[in-house]
């Protein structure tokens, strides 16, 4: 039983991580809707920082600790609220007057990380530099994301492809965005799950007028989620992506939504 509990804890931690990833990516998608010039800063920032912390136990020497702290400081700068934010930032706290000012300050910090530390911190810093460059020089930022997406560091490479897909979607390059989302869905990585990628792909299909393709993709996301079970045959809780997919499907195709497998209540295990 102790062995099972440990295994189950790992499974739940994994699901919680991906669920958080889904919520962040969904919010990014909402912010990008109708915007062709910018992408929400820090795409995957919280996720990537969690990855760094999670894998941090593998290293305990001073250099790695120093690199993680430096990267964390840079991420914090990039996520600092603007002075015009609503609700208003806490009085006395650090703020920036606009996104460009914040982006440049963050880039300066990430460049220090990239110049001073080796992998994986260098590529992680490059990823954040690229997302911030989208505020200052969109073409340069897109090119940098493309380069990072080809790197051998799996987490930042995957996040860079996702950011690139969203940027192309925002620019109206739907075929290119769809290709990237499809590749990410096939990979089904820890930081970008198949559900998350397919949810965005369905959004692209909808913008292209491909209602049937979008509805089918949304249906499959939700139906698979509702049928999913753990090793003991108990239903797994729905992810953020599957819940959003259900809402989108209900609006897009109510008849198709009505054919979904009924949702099974999730009960807590007695162990």
Residue 29 belongs to a domain: yes
Say if residues 70 and 113 touch (Cβ distance below 8 Å): yes
Candidates 10, 121, 25, 18; CA nearest to 70 is 121
Domain end position, chosen among 128, 146, 167: 167
For residues 38 and 106, membership in a common domain is answered with yes
For residues 150 and 42, membership in a common domain is answered with yes
Helix (H, G, I), strand (E, B) or coil at 235: strand
For residues 22 and 143, membership in a common domain is answered with yes
Domain end position, chosen among 167, 198, 221: 167
Whether residue 82 is predicted with pLDDT greater than 50 in this model: the reply is yes
For residues 195 and 243, membership in a common domain is answered with yes
For residues 225 and 204, membership in a common domain is answered with yes
pTM of the entire structure?
0.77
Average pLDDT of the chain is 79
Residue 1 belongs to a domain: no
Determine the average pLDDT of the residues in 28-33: 44
pLDDT of residue 115: 95
For residues 117 and 207, membership in a common domain is answered with no
Residue 117 belongs to a domain: yes
Cα 119 off chain centre by:
21
For residues 147 and 180, membership in a common domain is answered with no
Helix (H, G, I), strand (E, B) or coil at 154: helix
Residue 247 belongs to a domain: yes
pLDDT of residue 172: 94
- Domain holding 119, by residue range, is 17-167
CA-only gyration radius of the chain, Å: 20
For residues 133 and 158, membership in a common domain is answered with yes
Whether residue 194 is predicted with pLDDT greater than 60 in this model: the reply is yes
pLDDT of residue 86: 67
Main-chain dihedrals φ then ψ at residue 43, nearest 5 degrees: -50, 120
Whether residue 241 is predicted with pLDDT greater than 60 in this model: the reply is yes
Domain end position, chosen among 145, 167, 189: 167
> Alpha helix (H) ranges present in the chain?
2-32, 45-55, 62-78, 99-116, 121-136, 138-148, 154-170, 174-187, 194-207, 211-227, 240-252, 254-257
Residue 13 burial (10 A CB sphere; 0-12, 13-18, 19+) = exposed
pLDDT of residue 12: 35
For residues 71 and 185, membership in a common domain is answered with no
pLDDT of residue 136: 92
**Can you name the residues that pair with 156 across neighbouring β-strands?**
none
For residues 117 and 209, membership in a common domain is answered with no
Residue 105 belongs to a domain: yes
Q: What is the DSSP string of 19-74?
A: HHHHHHHHHHHHHHTT-SS---TTTTHHHHHHHHHHHGGG--SHHHHHHHHHHHHH
Say if residues 269 and 3 touch (Cβ distance below 8 Å): no
Candidates 94, 113, 114, 96; CA nearest to 104 is 96
How far, CA to CA in Å, does 87 sit from each of 43, 195, 209?
21, 31, 37
Q: What is the pLDDT of residues 106-145, one digit of tens each?
A: 999 999 999 999 888 999 999 999 999 998 999 999 999 9
Residue 77 belongs to a domain: yes
Number of domains in the chain: 2
For residues 130 and 207, membership in a common domain is answered with no
For residues 56 and 114, membership in a common domain is answered with yes
pLDDT of residue 268: 55
pLDDT of residue 235: 86
Residue 42 belongs to a domain: yes
pLDDT of residue 2: 38
Q: What is the pLDDT of residues 1-24, one digit of tens each?
A: 333 333 333 433 444 444 444 444
Measured between its terminal Cα atoms, the distance across the chain in Å is 9
Residue 11 belongs to a domain: no
């Amino acid at each position: 039983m102790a062995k099972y509990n440990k295994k189950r804890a790992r499974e739940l931690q994994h699901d919680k991580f991906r669920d958080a990833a889904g919520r962040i990516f969904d919010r990014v998608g909402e912010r990008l809707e109708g915007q062709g010039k910018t992408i929400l800063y820090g795409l995957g920032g919280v996720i990537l920082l969690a990855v760094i912390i999670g894998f941090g136990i593998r290293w305990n020497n001073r250099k790695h600790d120093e690199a993680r702290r430096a990267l964390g400081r840079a991420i914090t700068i990039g996520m600092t609220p603007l002075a015009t934010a609503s609700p208003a930032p806490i009085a006395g706290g650090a703020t920036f007057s606009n996104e460009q000012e914040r982006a440049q300050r963050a880039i300066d910090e990430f460049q220090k990380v990239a110049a001073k530390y080796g992998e994986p911190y260098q590529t992680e810093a490059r990823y954040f530099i690229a997302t911030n460059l989208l505020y200052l020089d969109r073409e340069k930022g897109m090119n940098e994301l493309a380069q990072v997406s080809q790197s051998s560091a799996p987490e930042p490479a995957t996040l860079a492809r996702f950011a690139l897909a969203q940027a192309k979607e925002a620019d109206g390059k739907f075929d290119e965005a769809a290709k990237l989302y499809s590749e990410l869905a096939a990979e089904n990585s820890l930081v970008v799950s198949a559900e998350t990628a397919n949810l965005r792909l369905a959004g692209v299909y909808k913008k292209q007028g491909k209602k049937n393709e979008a509805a089918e993709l949304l249906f499959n996301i939700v139906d698979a989620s509702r049928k999913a079970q753990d090793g003991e045959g108990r239903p797994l809780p729905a992810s953020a992506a599957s819940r959003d997919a259900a809402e989108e499907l209900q609006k897009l195709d109510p008849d198709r939504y009505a054919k979904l497998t009924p949702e099974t209540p999730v009960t807590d295990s007695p162990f």
